[in-house]
Structure 1
Amino acid sequence: MADAEILDDEGGARDWLAGAFAPTDEQWARLERFAAMLVIENEQQNLIAASTIPILWVRHIADSAQLLALDAGGEGLWIDLGSGPGLPGLVVAILSERPMLLVESRKRRCDFLRAVVAELGLAHVEIAEAPLERVETRRAGTISARAFAPLDRLIDLSARFSTESTRWLLPKGRNAVKELASLPQTWQNLFHVEHSRTDTDSRILVGQGRIVPKKRGKA
């Protein structure tokens, strides 16, 4: 993806989505409705930065969809950590049939997620309204997290969901390489860095494999 053209306007984002996923009319309608619901709900709670609304299809829709593009051929449960307003989880769920678990601890965020899931008829989406530490362990085909926690804590908390075939898709902004370098070497070896399609300075950490959580000391 290093040489891919950066998406910097709404038309380009929609064109890329059309070429990458060939959405059906129903999927387009769901994306449009989700985008509209995001803007409306943003007046009630801070889901996305107001400055990103004019470029919502770049900054949020395509930015989320690029993770699905990095997981071509992936299967099994997709777990989206700290899903917030459903980014990237709901975008992925709209564009694919992957079973999706959205993990979000804040009630108002979860109320919004449930409203979107109900209105769009996304029967393959499940919402866990709880801190990740209280979510039952399940085998994840893919783990994503757009803005959840510092990298080492994110990986440590979610490691119990991973298997040898688990795919990790972790957007980490301009500090991705630095954060990756701070991890234990055994964790670093599972990851490589991809360029974001929506921000020239941002990077995505892409990994595959089972990660063993850090050992906890006795209380």
Structure 2
Amino acid sequence: MDNGDAILGSEAAARDWIEATFAPSAENWGRLERFAAMLVAESGQQNLIAASTIPILWVRHIADSAQLLALDRDRDGLWLDLGSGPGLPGLVVALLSERPMMLVESRKRRCDFLRAVVSELALPHVEIIEAPLERIETRAAATISARAFAPLDKLIDLSARFSTESTRWLLPKGRNAVKELALLPQAWQNLFHVEQSLTDADSQILVGTGQITDKKRGKA
């Protein structure tokens, strides 16, 4: 993703970018539309997304999630989405690709929503894990994403055991991305670079490739 790309400033621009970037089939467009509708409807029952973001849903949530896939289109393998909540970014990625997706979410009501979406939209490549990350069996992840999971140092410490030398980390961290990165041990910092978000001029994404080992975590 080029830092010179324009910020997506409207719902129409977000849809146009998704079309130009991923060329979804008519079926996949229909699934995206249905997911968006389910997300809005369920947000009336539980706090999935802020009410203020509903008028800009395609910018703030759909394209915002899809841009992570655009940063990781050169690979396949398991995508591990931490703290998936309403399926952002995990379900959007799953709707635009065939990547095997594991959504990790500890809250039952949110998992109930995720299961409803996966069932209705027929997404057999999506697995939902209703448990804290600490209780999940280790497996190698090709990609690790987390949109709103934990402070950066804690996020990496908890998820390091899922990483390999080729794991891609995709971590939206808002306007504090550079500050959070600067607080990490130097060995961690060296794995990452910063990408500008396409959906918010004040937000950035930490993109990294590599394995966080005990040595890199400052442990014996």
Determine the C-alpha separation between the residues in 1 that align with 2:204 and 2:218.
29
Q: How does 1:19-98 map to 2 (within 5 A)?
A: 19-98=20-99
1:205 aligns with: 206
- Residue of structure 2 in register with 1:153 after alignment: 154
State the distance in 1 between where 2:140 and 2:180 align: 25
Report the Cα distance in structure 2 between the residues aligned to 1:215 and 1:194, rounded to whole angstroms: 26
Distance 2:134 2:219 in 1: 14
Amino acid of the structure 2 residue aligned with 1:19? A
- Return the letter of the residue paired with 1:80: D
Q: Distance in 2 between matches of 1:184 and 1:216?
A: 11
Structure 2 segments unaligned to the other structure (5+ residues): none
Q: CA deviation at 1:74?
A: 1.6
1:153-190 deviation per Cα after TM superposition (whole angstroms, max 9, x unaligned): 00000000000000000000000000000001110000
1:216 CA displacement: 7.3
Q: Secondary structure at the match of 1:192?
A: strand
- Once the two structures are TM-superposed, the CA of residue 215 in structure 1 deviates from its matched residue by 6.6
Q: CA deviation at 1:191?
A: 0.1
- The secondary structure found in structure 1 opposite 2:34 is helix
Aligned counterparts of 1:181 and 1:95: Cα–Cα separation in 2: 33
Residue 183 (structure 2) pairs with residue 182 (structure 1): yes
1:170 maps to 2:174: no
Secondary structure of the residue aligned to 1:171 is: strand
* CA distance in structure 2 between the aligned counterparts of 1:161 and 1:30, rounded to whole angstroms: 30
Q: Establish whether residue 17 from structure 1 lines up as the match of residue 18 from structure 2.
A: yes
Residue 72 of structure 1, CA deviation: 1.6
Please identify runs of 4+ aligned residues in structure 1 that moved more than 3 A: 213-217
Whole-angstrom CA distance in 1 between matches of 2:39 and 2:30: 14
**Cα RMSD, aligned residues only:** 1.1
Identity of aligned residues (%): 77
SS at the partner of 2:55? helix
Q: Count residues with an aligned counterpart.
A: 217
Give the corresponding residue for 1:105: 106
In the alignment, the residues of structure 2 paired with residue 135 and residue 13 of structure 1 have an alpha-carbon distance, to the nearest angstrom, of 35
Residue 48 of structure 1: how far off its partner (Å) = 0.2
* TM-score, normalised with respect to structure 1: 0.97
